[in-house]
Amino acid sequence: MWFKERSLGNIMYYILMLNVNTMAGNPFMNFFWQSLVELPGYFLGNYLSEKLGRRWMNSGTFMLMTLAHIPIILMINRPDLSWVITCMIVFIKLGVTVSGYAGYLQAMETFPTCVRQTGCALGSLAASIVGTVGPYIILLGTTTDKRYAYGITALTTLLGAITTSFLPETLNQKLPETLADAAVFGKDQKYWALHQESNIVLDGADVPLKTKEKSDMPS
């Protein structure tokens, strides 16, 4: 599931950044606005992932990006409304950044310790390979109808919203350390629950170091 989410995110990122020449207005400014939202996007992703959890924040962001495609598809051939298209595309780029932050966070927390680096690396590699179809989607839009390209990206974000909703929630959860832990991680979670009940043991030796009193620390 995480491989699919990262692949969909990569496709969206490449398409938006490479598609600036087909947007109305100055292509340099179009590129500037899309780049400008990346930094606040990471801060927003960090804030929302701690407040809403990783799973529904990621899925909800993909769904908002899907809805933002509706005015684009309806108004893409209206030159007088090009500013609306630009605003929606910049908003989608913000969503891609937010979901990308959550995606990498989920990967580091979902993969068990023994294969964390390998899993994240293979996921990024697979996402980069899938992302190579981005230029062909842009070519489809420029040679036929611009709406086709944005129709494909709308379906991409919709698929992202569905697939990410099946990832396990990792906020306030004891993270897997072995492959056996990863095999059962998240199976006891309720699908429709916004916040999953914490399964971290807070007594005895399992108390996180930062929660221990200073007097309990060895001298």
Residue 35 has pLDDT above 60, yes or no: yes
Taking the C-alpha atoms of residue 130 and residue 177, their distance in angstroms, rounded to an integer, is 29
> From the CB of residue 51, how many other CB atoms can be counted at a distance below 10 Å?
10
Helix (H, G, I), strand (E, B) or coil at 147: helix
Instruction: Give the CB-side neighbour count of residue 79, counting CA atoms within 13 A.
Output: 1
Lookup: tokens for 50: 């701690």
**149-179, pLDDT tens digit by residue?**
899 999 999 999 999 999 889 888 888 888 8
Residue 213 is predicted with a pLDDT of 43
Q: Where do the domains of the chain lie?
A: 2-164
Helix/strand/coil (H, E, C) string of 151-171? HHHHHHHHHHHHHHCCCCCCC
Taking the C-alpha atoms of residue 109 and residue 103, their distance in angstroms, rounded to an integer, is 10
pLDDT band at 201 (very low <50, low <70, confident <90, very high): low
The domain made up of 2-164 has a fold known as Growth Hormone; Chain: A; (1.20.1250)
- 133 DSSP assignment: T
pTM of the model: 0.82
